Amino acid sequence: MTSEIDISICRMVPAAVIRSGIQRVFVNRLKRAKEHVRNVVIISPWITAAADPACPFSSLVQVIRSRRLPAYFVTRPPENSAHTKAIDILRSCPTVELVYNESVHAKIYACTAPSPHGFALLGSANLTAGSLAQYEIGLLVIGMGPGSAIVEDLANFGLRHLRTRPESEVIKKMDIRSLRNVI
Protein backbone atom coordinates (compact mmCIF):
# COMPACT_ATOMS: atom_id res chain seq x y z
CA MET A 1 0.00 0.00 0.00
CA THR A 2 1.39 3.40 -0.94
CA SER A 3 0.57 6.57 0.89
CA GLU A 4 -0.58 9.59 -1.04
CA ILE A 5 1.73 12.54 -1.33
CA ASP A 6 0.26 15.85 -0.26
CA ILE A 7 1.03 17.95 -3.33
CA SER A 8 -0.70 21.01 -1.88
CA ILE A 9 2.55 21.89 -0.10
CA CYS A 10 4.31 21.89 -3.48
CA ARG A 11 2.05 24.69 -4.65
CA MET A 12 3.01 26.78 -1.62
CA VAL A 13 6.79 26.59 -2.20
CA PRO A 14 8.17 29.60 -4.07
CA ALA A 15 10.09 27.94 -6.91
CA ALA A 16 11.00 28.37 -10.55
CA VAL A 17 12.31 26.18 -13.34
CA ILE A 18 15.64 27.41 -14.71
CA ARG A 19 16.29 26.32 -18.29
CA SER A 20 19.74 27.77 -18.86
CA GLY A 21 22.60 29.43 -17.02
CA ILE A 22 21.93 27.55 -13.79
CA GLN A 23 25.29 28.48 -12.29
CA ARG A 24 24.87 32.14 -13.29
CA VAL A 25 21.45 32.25 -11.62
CA PHE A 26 23.04 30.85 -8.46
CA VAL A 27 25.92 33.35 -8.44
CA ASN A 28 23.62 36.32 -9.14
CA ARG A 29 21.26 35.35 -6.30
CA LEU A 30 24.25 34.78 -4.01
CA LYS A 31 25.44 38.33 -4.73
CA ARG A 32 21.99 39.67 -3.86
CA ALA A 33 21.88 37.74 -0.57
CA LYS A 34 24.81 39.91 0.63
CA GLU A 35 25.54 39.74 4.36
CA HIS A 36 22.66 37.35 5.06
CA VAL A 37 24.52 34.24 3.82
CA ARG A 38 25.28 31.62 6.48
CA ASN A 39 27.03 29.22 4.12
CA VAL A 40 27.27 27.99 0.57
CA VAL A 41 27.07 24.29 -0.33
CA ILE A 42 28.04 23.11 -3.80
CA ILE A 43 27.68 19.46 -4.78
CA SER A 44 28.93 18.71 -8.28
CA PRO A 45 30.74 15.60 -9.52
CA TRP A 46 32.77 17.70 -11.93
CA ILE A 47 34.04 21.23 -11.55
CA THR A 48 36.09 23.15 -14.08
CA ALA A 49 37.58 26.61 -14.25
CA ALA A 50 37.64 28.61 -17.46
CA ALA A 51 40.08 31.36 -18.39
CA ASP A 52 37.15 33.77 -18.76
CA PRO A 53 36.70 35.72 -15.49
CA ALA A 54 32.96 35.92 -16.28
CA CYS A 55 32.58 32.14 -16.14
CA PRO A 56 30.29 31.05 -13.29
CA PHE A 57 33.03 29.18 -11.42
CA SER A 58 35.30 32.25 -11.44
CA SER A 59 32.43 34.50 -10.39
CA LEU A 60 31.46 32.12 -7.59
CA VAL A 61 35.01 31.93 -6.25
CA GLN A 62 35.31 35.72 -6.43
CA VAL A 63 32.12 36.16 -4.33
CA ILE A 64 33.26 33.54 -1.80
CA ARG A 65 36.69 35.18 -1.48
CA SER A 66 35.56 38.80 -1.36
CA ARG A 67 32.80 38.16 1.19
CA ARG A 68 34.76 35.52 3.12
CA LEU A 69 31.82 33.15 2.93
CA PRO A 70 31.99 29.66 4.41
CA ALA A 71 31.68 27.36 1.40
CA TYR A 72 31.54 23.57 1.23
CA PHE A 73 32.31 21.80 -2.04
CA VAL A 74 31.65 18.10 -2.55
CA THR A 75 33.00 16.64 -5.77
CA ARG A 76 34.67 13.58 -7.20
CA PRO A 77 38.46 13.28 -7.19
CA PRO A 78 39.71 15.00 -10.37
CA GLU A 79 40.42 12.84 -13.40
CA ASN A 80 41.48 15.58 -15.80
CA SER A 81 43.51 18.78 -15.80
CA ALA A 82 40.48 21.12 -15.94
CA HIS A 83 39.02 19.59 -12.78
CA THR A 84 42.46 19.62 -11.11
CA LYS A 85 42.85 23.31 -11.94
CA ALA A 86 39.48 24.11 -10.34
CA ILE A 87 40.43 22.08 -7.25
CA ASP A 88 43.71 24.00 -6.99
CA ILE A 89 41.77 27.28 -7.07
CA LEU A 90 39.41 26.04 -4.35
CA ARG A 91 42.35 24.88 -2.23
CA SER A 92 43.66 28.44 -2.28
CA CYS A 93 40.41 29.83 -0.81
CA PRO A 94 40.71 30.03 2.98
CA THR A 95 36.96 29.80 3.62
CA VAL A 96 36.42 26.69 1.48
CA GLU A 97 36.14 23.12 2.71
CA LEU A 98 36.71 20.56 -0.01
CA VAL A 99 35.42 16.99 0.14
CA TYR A 100 35.95 14.15 -2.34
CA ASN A 101 33.35 11.44 -2.75
CA GLU A 102 33.67 9.11 -5.75
CA SER A 103 29.97 8.20 -5.60
CA VAL A 104 28.56 11.72 -5.82
CA HIS A 105 26.32 12.33 -8.81
CA ALA A 106 23.90 14.95 -7.39
CA LYS A 107 24.12 18.56 -8.50
CA ILE A 108 23.01 20.93 -5.75
CA TYR A 109 23.82 24.60 -5.28
CA ALA A 110 22.56 25.91 -1.93
CA CYS A 111 22.83 29.15 0.00
CA THR A 112 21.56 29.00 3.55
CA ALA A 113 20.38 32.30 4.97
CA PRO A 114 17.44 33.64 6.98
CA SER A 115 14.15 33.87 5.08
CA PRO A 116 13.75 35.14 2.39
CA HIS A 117 17.46 35.22 1.46
CA GLY A 118 18.21 31.47 1.34
CA PHE A 119 17.76 29.49 -1.86
CA ALA A 120 18.85 26.30 -3.56
CA LEU A 121 19.14 24.98 -7.08
CA LEU A 122 18.71 21.29 -7.77
CA GLY A 123 19.36 20.24 -11.33
CA SER A 124 21.38 18.54 -13.99
CA ALA A 125 24.25 21.03 -14.43
CA ASN A 126 27.74 20.33 -13.14
CA LEU A 127 29.85 23.33 -12.16
CA THR A 128 31.69 23.24 -15.47
CA ALA A 129 32.19 25.62 -18.35
CA GLY A 130 30.91 22.89 -20.69
CA SER A 131 27.54 22.69 -18.97
CA LEU A 132 26.80 26.23 -20.16
CA ALA A 133 26.60 24.86 -23.72
CA GLN A 134 24.45 21.84 -22.74
CA TYR A 135 20.71 21.53 -22.36
CA GLU A 136 20.48 21.67 -18.57
CA ILE A 137 17.58 22.27 -16.24
CA GLY A 138 17.27 23.19 -12.61
CA LEU A 139 14.67 23.88 -9.98
CA LEU A 140 15.21 27.02 -7.93
CA VAL A 141 13.67 26.89 -4.47
CA ILE A 142 13.41 30.12 -2.48
CA GLY A 143 13.90 29.89 1.29
CA MET A 144 10.52 31.31 2.25
CA GLY A 145 7.72 29.50 4.04
CA PRO A 146 7.82 25.77 3.20
CA GLY A 147 10.74 26.47 0.84
CA SER A 148 13.00 27.20 3.82
CA ALA A 149 12.91 23.56 4.96
CA ILE A 150 13.66 22.34 1.43
CA VAL A 151 16.66 24.68 1.13
CA GLU A 152 17.98 23.46 4.49
CA ASP A 153 17.42 19.81 3.52
CA LEU A 154 19.32 20.25 0.25
CA ALA A 155 22.21 22.02 2.00
CA ASN A 156 22.26 19.39 4.75
CA PHE A 157 22.50 16.63 2.16
CA GLY A 158 26.02 17.93 1.57
CA LEU A 159 26.84 19.25 5.05
CA ARG A 160 25.50 16.46 7.22
CA HIS A 161 25.22 13.47 4.90
CA LEU A 162 27.89 13.47 2.17
CA ARG A 163 30.63 15.04 4.33
CA THR A 164 30.23 12.32 6.96
CA ARG A 165 29.99 9.25 4.70
CA PRO A 166 32.78 6.68 5.20
CA GLU A 167 33.72 7.00 1.52
CA SER A 168 34.05 10.80 1.76
CA GLU A 169 37.46 12.35 2.27
CA VAL A 170 37.97 15.91 3.49
CA ILE A 171 40.78 17.18 1.28
CA LYS A 172 40.92 20.70 2.63
CA LYS A 173 39.51 22.16 5.82
CA MET A 174 38.20 25.67 6.13
CA ASP A 175 40.34 28.25 7.93
CA ILE A 176 37.71 29.51 10.38
CA ARG A 177 39.88 32.52 11.26
CA SER A 178 39.29 33.76 7.70
CA LEU A 179 35.51 33.85 7.98
CA ARG A 180 33.53 37.04 8.24
CA ASN A 181 31.06 37.31 11.08
CA VAL A 182 28.42 34.76 10.14
CA ILE A 183 24.81 35.21 11.20
pLDDT in tens, 85-95: 999 999 999 99
Is 138 inside any structural domain? no
Give residue 7's Cα distance to chain centre: 26
The count of domains in the chain is: 1
Distance CA(67)–CA(95), nearest Å, equals 10
CATH label of the domain that carries residue 156:
3.30.870.10
Residue 5 — pLDDT band, cuts 50, 70, 90? Answer: very low
Pairing of strands 119-123, 108-112: antiparallel
In this prediction, residues 150-178 reach a mean pLDDT of 94
Phi/psi for 61 (5° steps) reads -60, -40
**Which run of H or E residues covers position 38?**
none
Is 28 inside any structural domain? yes
Is 182 inside any structural domain? no
Is 38 inside any structural domain? yes
Q: In which domain, by residue range, is 94 found?
A: 15-131+143-167
* Strands of the chain, DSSP E: 15-18, 39-43, 71-75, 96-100, 108-112, 119-123, 138-142, 169-172
In this prediction, residues 21-38 reach a mean pLDDT of 93
Alpha helices in the chain (DSSP H): 8-12, 22-33, 56-67, 81-91, 146-156
pLDDT at 84: 96
Q: Which SS3 state, helix, strand or coil, does residue 104 take?
A: coil
